[in-house]
Amino acid sequence: MIDFELTQSFFNPSSIAIIGASSNEKKTGSRIQRYLVSHGYKGRIFPVNPNRDNIFGLKCYPNLKKINEKIDHIFIALDGNKIIEAINDAVSLNVKCATILSGGFSESGSEGLDLENEILDIANKGNIRVLGPNSIGIINISDSVILSANAMLELPNLKKGSLSVISQSGSLIGALLAHGASRGIGFSKLISVGNEADLSVGEIGKMLVDDVDTDTIILFLETLRNSREVAEMAHLAHKSGKAIITYKLGKSDLGKELAKSHTGAIAGSDEAFNAFIKYNGMSRVEIFETLIEVPNLFKNKVIAKGKRIGIATTTGGGGAMVVESISSSDIEVINPGSSMSSLMKQYNIPYNDNKLVDLTIAGAKPEIVNDVIKEFMENKNCDLVVMVVGSSAKFRPDQAIEPLLKWANNSKPLVVYVAPDAPEALQLLNKNGIASFRTPESCAEGIKAYLNNKSPKTIDNNYEQINFNKIKTILKSVKYKNLTEFEALKVFDIMGIKTVRSKIVSNILKSRELTMEFGFPLVMKILSSQIQHKTDTGGVELNITSEADLKNRHKKLCKVFDKLEVKNSDREFLLQKMEIGITEIILGYRVDELVGPIVVIGSGGVLSEIYDDKSVRIAPVDFKEAKKMINEVKSLVTITGYRGLPRADINILANAIVDMSQLASIKAIKEAEINPVLIKEGLEGVVAVDGLITLY
Amino acid sequence: MIDFELTQSFFNPSSIAIIGASSNEKKTGSRIQRYLVSHGYKGRIFPVNPNRDNIFGLKCYPNLKKINEKIDHIFIALDGNKIIEAINDAVSLNVKCATILSGGFSESGSEGLDLENEILDIANKGNIRVLGPNSIGIINISDSVILSANAMLELPNLKKGSLSVISQSGSLIGALLAHGASRGIGFSKLISVGNEADLSVGEIGKMLVDDVDTDTIILFLETLRNSREVAEMAHLAHKSGKAIITYKLGKSDLGKELAKSHTGAIAGSDEAFNAFIKYNGMSRVEIFETLIEVPNLFKNKVIAKGKRIGIATTTGGGGAMVVESISSSDIEVINPGSSMSSLMKQYNIPYNDNKLVDLTIAGAKPEIVNDVIKEFMENKNCDLVVMVVGSSAKFRPDQAIEPLLKWANNSKPLVVYVAPDAPEALQLLNKNGIASFRTPESCAEGIKAYLNNKSPKTIDNNYEQINFNKIKTILKSVKYKNLTEFEALKVFDIMGIKTVRSKIVSNILKSRELTMEFGFPLVMKILSSQIQHKTDTGGVELNITSEADLKNRHKKLCKVFDKLEVKNSDREFLLQKMEIGITEIILGYRVDELVGPIVVIGSGGVLSEIYDDKSVRIAPVDFKEAKKMINEVKSLVTITGYRGLPRADINILANAIVDMSQLASIKAIKEAEINPVLIKEGLEGVVAVDGLITLY
């Protein structure tokens, strides 16, 4: 639960001490006091600086202890050891909150990390919660507490609104403020979290969920430091009807980094992050501006019932740009139907039953615009209305924008793209709570983000009886962190996934009865915990067709062991029935660094790496979700009866995914992968023929 | 060649008659005269309207003939038959140019098309060149000839610049003007081409290439009506050092439409358009705003020598957004090296040899910003410098923007992304000719478009001796527009592509000696010009292993003929040697509706449709280009020695592509496709085992 007293001293402290206050306007240290005052802070301010008696007309103190008044929140604009002194003082004065502006901590190396830990230690013991270090501060516009060094606070009037921001980039808060200001978008609270040494995105987010002045929360993220807290925040936000919209950096580079590791190549962390976002009912956008333009859509009291949109325009080209960006998704641009045709006829506007209702020639006449919007609002096949406004937005807002205003919060959401640069039009729309966009790209992205947003998931974990104890026993008995293929397949088998018939043979002479049992063709593989990549080292012999063949292949594998200098005691062979499928996939489980357990399926074989064709979810998943995953892997269309090809039983494959995802219950497992799972025709189902498991 | 007299009367007429002039300010017809006057037109204006004597203080004429003065250009704001009357009058008065505003022509159906053709006929015979119909007019800012009805012309001052626009959307010209105005970007000429019934994008573009006031040409396209003219314009522009940057609609919808047709599914028209753009040395952007933001980069007197960029920022998050968007391309973000480290040390700025030189903590101090830019400008590994500016751009342009100005047109191009909404900063940058961007996405796209731009291609056609006459003889002898497989393979064989050994057998009894000649296994197919899709109808029997097998398969194929009710005289069978490859591709040739002959290669088999993995070029291609195409098909990495898989001879495949692309020399062929081309190991090369050719 969020502590009310903490929230108060964090967002709305009644007194603030500024450690490292400065009277030099050019210095960052001066900004805190200046901005607090210029934006109307009503509490008490105590500048602290041993070299000054007075700063900007306020008495200045040599240190915290000399203040002798109740202090709610301290803002530290000093470096290194001076911070420790300040925190120590604050503990003794029973201060609730400290914001640390300075950098040079965990983000800059091990020395900084040590200092950060030391500060945190003192703070924890002294019951002080810390924002930062490396935080540009807290901008609480609703309560006029502007406790931040961001240069954008030179803006004379900060517009109040219901949008709140949590950002891991301090400087971008300024950019968001400026982009908001030019569009007439107001904010409630903007918080720069810095290194999140103590207070993290999730915990601050929960305060915002409880905040009556906040309707929508936007997150600017560079990483994810405490995914559990963020998930909790998301669930609470959903319950309170507040949307969370994120922008996250680290797509490309992280992807590359992770591609280096084996399972990483299957599921780069960015896909895991996307899975996390969807799982928790949040939205993610990839165009920076969408972040501040889309919230009005989420704030709508009415909720779109489906993904069918109606679109009208007073600029043909502008409307077409939006349609184009949207039509690559599963959102349907509706055919407006016969009553729209009648309306167009009535107004004598040329119209060939196009999906885009083009009023370019008619121009932006208020009554026409109004009637077209009305027609869409009343159309049962339409879930959301898009209006694209041309040049008239700039010079005739009375004709182009005003007719739209009354449709705010009507029976369906209304979205506007303003094609020319027309800040006044955007301001008018935002003032009336209508989601409005500066570019066709952000307009399309905003609509997609809104219409694709879903509630957070809850997984019913009771549908399956897996003998987890048996697995834990195996895991305790293994010698190495990398399980052998035989051990791994055994685990998968217990999980409920059908595995290939396998036996370990140490001596080829003893294999006779096995070959009788399995029948030819067979597969023989080297088995040694010393060797991770059997295939790359020539350690797999496929399609062994006779006893004689088996002997030859065995000899070849012995040579592989020789070459790899595996000692005799560590040499074994795995004999397996040779299985044939109609296609193959990779089925993986991994504890992602950022978001925790995930399950992945991807197309198998050589092309898996080439096409990066996969689906990722937070683990565990249920049967329904597993089926959706199968649908997302493009190549798997080939097992659904495509072009007369043999058809597989999708339910059996879905069950295997569900089973694999249950590994999330076993904390000892870091990653697991079945590569490949052979998919057979119809009820023959699936069979795991090779796999690995890595423990922590 | 462009006619000087035409250019004059088109862009800079000394007298203009307005047919359908209006004194009612609310009517579109009034705008032409009002805008001409308000923007300082110095020539003579003749309003024409039989119901008025005087419009806005100028004498008004009942019709053109009554004017009795030399008229250079008429602007027609009337509908239907009145246009014909006006054009007829104009012919008799020796007018050079007519701009037609009205819609309702070819874009609205067959009646409109008839009217359009009638007008065009009169104009052609009378030597009048026509802009439109459906054109919003010509905005010539350099010479103060504002001959347009676009509402955006209410803007009091139109800024002069060297950017010219040709647009198939009239209304978007207003949006471009407004976006330019807010950024301080000036224009030279903006032309709305409408239906291009006469004057087309290419021809107008050539006038702009010759125009001393135009440095860069941007095209807003919805289609491509005369690709030959556009290609000519592009080549001329390249010679004159003027860049052409395009935005084109129709990506998604056209793609879908074309996917319906057989070869269309291989190469949607949008890929063909991209091939056309690259072939002709133009650039294409997909973010609307990039269109007006990127030109300064192309106007640079200095040219980037490679694709290595250096990037500095005063907002960490802002810089990271640009890096992120760029790093998914082949552009390298350089490591700034040791002298940058020294510089950072000198200024006491924390810096861990990051690729992104982050000055957030240092703030935007002019001397630091200057020295960092200087360092990049002097770094031999850096071809282009990117500066990302944070909050300071808004309040301290002296500190954040002014230090950048002197680096305009220095030894390397400089690009700026302004993270906050800061129009003044953008205006200052644009005034100094520095490419500056409002969003991280357009910044990254602009850099990519610029660094990936290449010169127009010229293909050396003399490297190959193909017996085109022999092919033409075959084409004349065929019965149907769809060649039989046997006929198609024969053509491919003459083109120089190895084809499978094939013979037609009408009677199974006579196949004995053939089987001796080819050897088993064999393939047998039905052959009838009545049947296009052999495989879908069960008309292909693979892997025939014996005489007995052959007889059985023949019976099956006879039943297929029975089922399809093919008459006996039209039944034949194709017997082929069964070929096996290490992979297969589709090799296609097609005359694209918009851009003309193209050649396509794509991955073959079931996955070809699923992954849409292909490469498209304007045909013909040379050997070097063919090798690049192979590189672009992702799945073909598997034949280059990937993961120990068998390796093919890429040169042989490249030659096959070159041969296929030579079909561009045979005008009778509409499309051709080899599906599949089997690719064999090493010097065994490639072999075409099935194909089709369709004639016009």
User: What pLDDT score does B567 carry?
Assistant: 85
How many CB atoms neighbour CB B520 within 10 A?
14
CA distance A185 to chain B (A): 13
- pLDDT tens digits, residue range B235-249? 999 999 999 999 998
A178 contacts in chain B (CB < 8 Å): 391, 394, 420-422
How high is the pLDDT of residue B258?
29
Cβ-Cβ contacts under 8 Å, B643 against chain A: 606
Q: Are B317 and A181 an interchain contact pair (Cβ–Cβ within 8 Å)?
A: no
Please name every residue paired with B591 in a beta bridge, in sequence order, or none if there are none: B597
Helix (H, G, I), strand (E, B) or coil at B283: strand
CB contact under 8 A, A249 and B324: yes
Q: Which of A316, A320, A394 sits opposite B152 (nearest CB)?
A: A394
Instruction: Give contacts of A109 with chain B, Cβ < 8 Å.
Output: 352
> What confidence category does residue B231 fall into, taking pLDDT thresholds of 50, 70 and 90?
very high
pLDDT tens digits, B387-433: 999 988 888 887 889 999 999 988 899 999 999 999 999 999 999 99
Inter-chain residue contact B390 with A175, CB threshold 8 Å? yes
- CB distance B150–A638 less than 8 Å? no
Q: Answer yes or no: do A420 and B177 touch at CB < 8 A.
A: yes
Strongest mean pLDDT among A240-254, B169-183, B563-577: B169-183
Q: Do A324 and B252 touch (CB under 8 A)?
A: yes
* Strands of the sheet with A572-577, listed across from one edge: A502-505, A572-577, A522-527, A540-544
Q: Is A525 exposed, middle or buried (0-12, 13-18, 19+ CB in 10 A)?
A: buried
- Write the pLDDT tens digit of every residue in B466-496: 888 999 999 999 988 999 999 999 999 999 9
> Distance from B183 to chain A by nearest Cα, in Å?
10
Contact A645 B606 (CB under 8 A): yes
pLDDT confidence tier of residue B324, bands split at 50, 70 and 90: confident
Contact (Cβ atoms closer than 8 angstroms) between residue B281 and residue B234:
yes
Given a cut of 70, whether residue A349 has pLDDT beyond it is: yes
Q: Which of the two residues, A324 and B177, has the higher pLDDT score?
A: B177
Contact A32, A77 (CB under 8 A): yes
Tell me which residue in A182, A420, A606 faces B175 most closely, judged by beta carbons: A420
Nearest to B324 among A169, A252, A395 (CB): A252
Lowest mean pLDDT among A158-172, B120-134, B261-275, B398-412: B261-275
Amino acid identity of residue B515, one-letter, is T
**pLDDT of B31 over the 60 cut:** yes
Compare CB distances from A318 to B103, B172, B422 and report the shortest one's residue: B172
pLDDT at A608: 78
Q: Which residue has the tokens 């400087």?
A: A171
Confidence category of residue A92, pLDDT binned at 50, 70, 90: very high
Q: What are the CA-CA distances from residue B81 to residues B78, B196, B201, B387 (Å)?
A: 9, 19, 26, 57
Q: Is the confidence at residue B225, as pLDDT, over 50?
A: yes
- Nearest by CB to B391, from A151, A250, A315: name it: A151
Cβ atoms of B387 and B416 closer than 8 Å: yes
Residue A68: how many CA atoms within 13 Å on its side-chain side? 5
Question: Average pLDDT in the A440-458 region?
Answer: 95
Mutate to test the interface with B, among A113, A171, A247, A389 (most CBs of B within 10 A): A171
* Residue A206 clears pLDDT 70, i.e. is over it: yes
* For A136, nearest residue in chain B (alpha carbons): B361
What average pLDDT score do residues B506-521 get? 77
Residues of A in contact with B152 (CB under 8 A): 391, 394-395, 420
- DSSP for A191-255, written as a single string: EE-TT-SSS-HHHHHHHHHH-TT-SEEEEEES--S-HHHHHHHHHHHHHTT-EEEEEE--HHHHH
Which residues of chain A have a CB within 8 Å of the CB of B194? Answer: none
Categorize the per-residue pLDDT at A107 as very low, low, confident or very high, splitting at 50, 70 and 90: confident
Closest CA to B280 of B211, B217, B215: B217
Structure-model confidence comparison of residues A506 and A451, the more confident one: A451
Confidence at residue B178, expressed as pLDDT on a 0 to 100 scale: 94
For chain A, how many residues are written?
Answer: 696
Contact A152 B394 (CB under 8 A): yes
Token code pair at residue A406: 């009354």
Q: Which residues have C-beta within 8 Å of that of residue A79, sequence separation ≥ 6? A: A102, A104
Q: At CA B158, angle to CA B157 and CA B161, rounded to 5?
A: 135
Q: What are phi and psi of B346, to 5 degrees?
A: -55, -40
pTM for this model (two decimals) = 0.94
Mean pLDDT, rounded, for B533-551:
87
**Chain A residues within an 8 Å CB radius of B28:** 363
SS3 A476: helix
Longest dimension (CA), chain A: 98
Residues above pLDDT 90, as percent of chain B: 73
Q: Can you list the pairs that A324-330 forms with residues at least 24 positions away whose Cβ atoms lie under 8 Å?
A: A324/A440, A324/A444, A324/B249, A324/B250, A324/B251, A324/B252, A324/B253, A325/A440, A325/A441, A325/A443, A325/A444, A325/A445, A326/A444, A326/A447, A326/A448, A327/B252, A327/B253, A328/B251, A328/B252, A329/A448, A329/A452
Angle B485-495/B650-661 helices, nearest 10 degrees?
Answer: 110
Summarize the confidence of residues A358-364 as an average pLDDT: 81
> Which token pair is B621?
């291609």
Backbone angle region of A364, left / alpha / beta, with phi > 0 → left and psi within -120 to 50 → alpha:
beta
Is the dihedral angle over the CA atoms A82, A87, A89, A95 positive or is it negative? positive
Check if the beta carbon of residue A590 is closer than 8 Å to that of residue A551: no
**Are the C-beta atoms of B263 and B588 separated by less than 8 Å?**
yes
Mean pLDDT confidence for A88-96: 96
Q: Which pLDDT does position A287 carry in this prediction?
A: 97
Residues of B with CB below 8 A from A444's CB?
A: none
pLDDT computed for residue A514 by the predictor: 73
B171: nearest CB among A167, A391, A642: A391
Mean of the per-residue pLDDT values for chain A? 91
B546 DSSP assignment = S
What does the H/E/C string look like for B30-99? HHHHHHHHHCCCCCEEEEECCCCCEECCEECECCHHHCCCCCCEEEECCCCHHHHHHHHHHHHCCCCEEE
Cα separation, A97 vs A5, in Å, equals 10
Alpha helices in B170-245 (DSSP H): 171-183, 201-210, 227-239
Please judge whether A178 and B352 are an interchain contact, meaning their C-beta atoms are less than 8 angstroms apart.
no
**At B1, is the pLDDT very low, low, confident or very high (cuts 50, 70, 90)?**
low
Which residues of chain B have a CB within 8 Å of the CB of A104? 350
Residue B605: pLDDT above 90? no
Contact B220/A251, CB-based, under 8 Å? no
- Chain B residue numbers with beta carbons less than 8 Å from the beta carbon of A637 are 610
The beta-carbon neighbor of A610 closest among B152, B252, B634 is B634
d(CA B419, CA A661): 42
Which of A233-242, A353-362, A470-479 has the least mean pLDDT?
A353-362
Res. B177 pLDDT band, cuts 50 70 90: very high
Please say if the pLDDT value at position A588 is more than 50: yes
Contacts of A317 in chain B (CB under 8 A): 167-172, 175, 220, 222, 249
- Judge whether residue A1 has pLDDT over 70: no
Cα nearest neighbour of B392 on chain A:
A151
The tokens describing A305, both together, are 């019932």
Q: Report chain A residues whose CB lies below 8 A from the CB of B315.
A: 169, 171-172, 174-175
How is residue A172 written in tokens?
């971008």
Are residues B315 and A394, on separate chains, in Cβ contact within 8 Å? Answer: no
Q: Which tens digit of pLDDT belongs to each residue from B257-282?
A: 323 333 333 344 889 999 999 999 99
Which tokens sit at A438? 């500066």
Note whether B289 contacts A150, CB cutoff 8 Å.
no
**For A391, which of B151, B289, B422 is closest by C-beta distance?**
B151
CA distance B362 to chain A (A): 10
Question: Which are the contacts of B660, defined by CB distance < 8 A and separation ≥ 6?
Answer: B492, B495, B497, B587, B588, B589, B599, B619, B672, B674
Q: Which of A301-310, A654-663, B64-73, B672-681 has the lowest mean pLDDT?
A: A301-310
DSSP A159: P
Q: Scanning every residue of chain B, which has its alpha carbon at the shortest distance from the alpha carbon of A639?
A: B606
Q: Are β-strands B58-59 and B54-55 bridged in parallel, bridged antiparallel, or unpaired?
A: antiparallel
Work out the burial of residue A536: count CB atoms within 10 Å of its CB; fewer than 13 is exposed, 13-18 middle, 19 or more buried: exposed
Instruction: For residue A363, give how far its alpha carbon lies from the nearest alpha carbon of chain B (Å).
Output: 9
Instruction: Give B102→chain A minimum CA distance, Å.
Output: 9
Weakest mean pLDDT among A131-140, A391-400, B134-143: A391-400
Instruction: Please give the angle made by the CA atoms of B83, B84 and B88, to the nearest 5 degrees.
Output: 120
The model's pLDDT over A489-539, given as tens digits with 9 standing for 90+, comes to 999 999 999 999 999 987 776 667 777 788 899 999 998 877 777 777 888
pLDDT given for residue A460 in this prediction: 65
Q: Which residue's structure tokens are 């579109």?
A: B28
Q: How far apart are the first and last CA of chain A?
A: 32
Buried/exposed code over B316-350 (b: 16+ C-beta within 10 A; e: otherwise): bbbbbbbbbbbbeeebbbbebbeebeebbeeeebb
- Judged by CB atoms closer than 8 Å, whether chains meet at B28 and A441 is answered as no
* Alpha carbons A401 and B514: distance in angstroms, whole number: 78
Contact B680, B686 (CB under 8 A): yes
Phi, psi of A167 (to 5 degrees): -130, 135
Contact between chains at B606 and A352 (C-beta distance less than 8 A)? no
Residues A415, A319: Cα–Cα separation, whole Å: 12
Rounded to whole angstroms, how far apart are CA atoms B146 and B143? 9
* Range from A187-196, A458-467, A669-678, B576-585 carrying the lowest mean pLDDT: A458-467
- The Cα–Cα gap between A633 and A664 comes to 22
> Tokens for B554?
């023949």
- Indicate the range of A175-184, A246-255, B451-460 predicted with least confidence: A246-255
Rg of chain A's alpha carbons, rounded to an integer?
A: 31
Beta strands in A314-412 (DSSP E): 332-333, 356-358, 384-389
pLDDT value, residue A462: 58
Q: Which two tokens stand for residue A166?
A: 């949590």
Distance CA A509, CA A333 (A): 69
Task: Report the share of chain A in percent with pLDDT over 90.
Answer: 73
Taking contacts as CB-CB distances below 8 angstroms, the residues of chain B near A441 are 287-288, 441
From chain B, pick out residues whose CB is under 8 angstroms from the CB of A172. Answer: 315, 317-318, 390, 419
Residues in chain A with CB shorter than 8 Å from the CB of B606 are 638, 642-643, 645
- Chain B nearest-CA residue for A167: B317
pLDDT of residue B252: 66
Contact A321 B171 (CB under 8 A): no
pLDDT digits (tens, 9 = 90+) for B57-88: 999 999 999 999 999 999 999 988 899 999 99
Which secondary structure element, helix H or strand E, spans residue A559, and what is its range?
Answer: helix A547-563
Mean model confidence pLDDT for chain B: 91
- Whether A220 sits inside 8 A of B317 (CB atoms) is yes
* Among candidate residues B518, B513, B521, B524, the one with its CA nearest the CA of residue B485: B524
* A384 DSSP β-pair partners: A309
A442: enclosing H helix or E strand: helix A440-452
Q: Is the peptide bond before A13 cis (omega within 30 degrees of 0)?
A: no
Mean pLDDT of all residues in A439-456: 96
CA A111 to chain centre: 31
Confidence of residue A160 (pLDDT cuts 50, 70, 90): very high
Which class for A68: exposed (0-12), middle (13-18), buried (19 or more C-beta within 10 A)? Answer: exposed
